Amino acid sequence: MTTNQIDNKVVVTGIGLISPLGTSKNTTWANLLSGTSGIDHIKAFDADAMETKIAAEVSEFDPIDYIDKKDARRMDRFVHFAIAASLEAVNQANLRIDSNNATRISVMISSGIGGIITLSEQMGVMSQKGPSRVSPFLIPMMLPDMASGQVSMVLGAKGPSFATVSACSSGADAIGQALSLIQTGITDVVIAGGAEAAICPIGIAGFNSCKALSKRNDEPQKASRPFDAGRDGFVLGEGSAILILENSSMAETRGATPIAELVGYGATSDAHHITQPAPEGEGGARAMQIALENANLSPNEVDYINAHGTSTPINDKFETSAMKTVFSEHAYKIPISSTKSMTGHLLGAGGALEAAISVMSINQGVIPPTINLETPDPDCDLDYTPHIPKRGRVRTAMSNSFGFGGHNASLLFKESK
């Protein structure tokens, strides 16, 4: 397809997941539906000195299963995750990249923090051994755009490649910007999503210092409890989620099977506070409304919302207010869930993971539950799908992501016809 043959319909043809619930799309999905928590005591380092000693880590992951050993040593963990998830997504989409299409295939994989593990390790090297011993690969390993860069090199994708950085909205914004790239004819396919790996001493200490993390160290699996009256903060997670997005004409031409259609994207800024959402979730409400208008859908047509639902006191309350603002009485009829109750919060990869979950909900006709919702907060009085999944047709799903700095993003997916 040439740039003057623009197809505005954008479909999802592949999904790849590396998450605290599994190192594949299918394993992650099965554990979501069973209500399994991926949260436990931190194993990556000795966390005894930390206020928070728990996290949602990716276990049984070996980058050598996906990347040459020498190359893997020159990449941060978040890039390992991105490559692994991208390979799974490309494989599901049966996408073959060669000289005929490489310049029309883009990569947009975001990270909120980038290579913080490498940066913190090399700070230690400099402190102990001097600046001359710092790795020459430090800078390319820590850059947030390097997930996109390395994936483009691994796969040979030569279209535009970059990363949006908008804190916890990064992955959702990457998918939203990918929608625009395809709809305007700049590219035909985007390998889009997010990757994050910030479970390290400075990462935990930093979030502890801003009072963001749960300290329920004695009950790790119950620590992430969105919309529950006893919630005390989010649990840091890691991983990557990748969607293959392409114009439907190309998908049809090459015989790909659409999983769902990406139909709407809304993004706003609170212009309010560096870490707290605007009162009553005003900015988030506007993002949802813009996404609905962008998709030409009415609020009553939304069958499921994957909430940002971090398990922090203010976010959950204000997100609930925002959904009531946008959906009015219909808000009480929409099944909502926060899958962060099981995966923890993947920061810049969170929006991509939850977008993928929303797509699978449409494709499989199942809404994952919110676990640990034992004592509902009176301010959070919507249907959050507690404890067990709901089965039934999901024609349209919304995924919300809100980030530090006042960033808000909302994505809308619907059944592909």
- Residues with active-site annotation: 168, 308, 345
With a CB cutoff of 8 Å and minimum separation 6, the contacts of 83 are 63, 66, 67, 75, 147, 150, 151, 154
Distance between CA atoms of residues 37 and 286, nearest Å: 32
Report the alpha-carbon distance of residue 404 to residue 406 in Å, rounded.
5
Cα–Cα distance measured from residue 338 to residue 265, given in angstroms and rounded to the nearest whole number: 19
CA dihedral 336, 340, 343, 346 (to 10 degrees): 130
Residue 379 is classified by DSSP as T
Dihedral angle sign, alpha carbons of residues 185, 304, 277, 114: negative
Quick one: 5 exposed, middle or buried, by C-beta within 10 A (0-12, 13-18, 19+)?
A: exposed
Place of tokens 């299409």: 101
Q: Which residues contact 158 (CB under 8 A, 6 or more apart)?
A: 102, 103, 105, 152
User: How far is residue 125's CA from residue 121's CA, in Å, rounded to a whole number?
Assistant: 6
Going by the DSSP 8-state scheme, the letter that residue 371 receives in this structure is: T
Instruction: At 346, list the tokens.
Output: 């993947």
Amino acid at 266: G
As a residue count, the chain comes to: 417
Name which of 171, 153, 155, 342 is nearest 242 in CA terms: 171
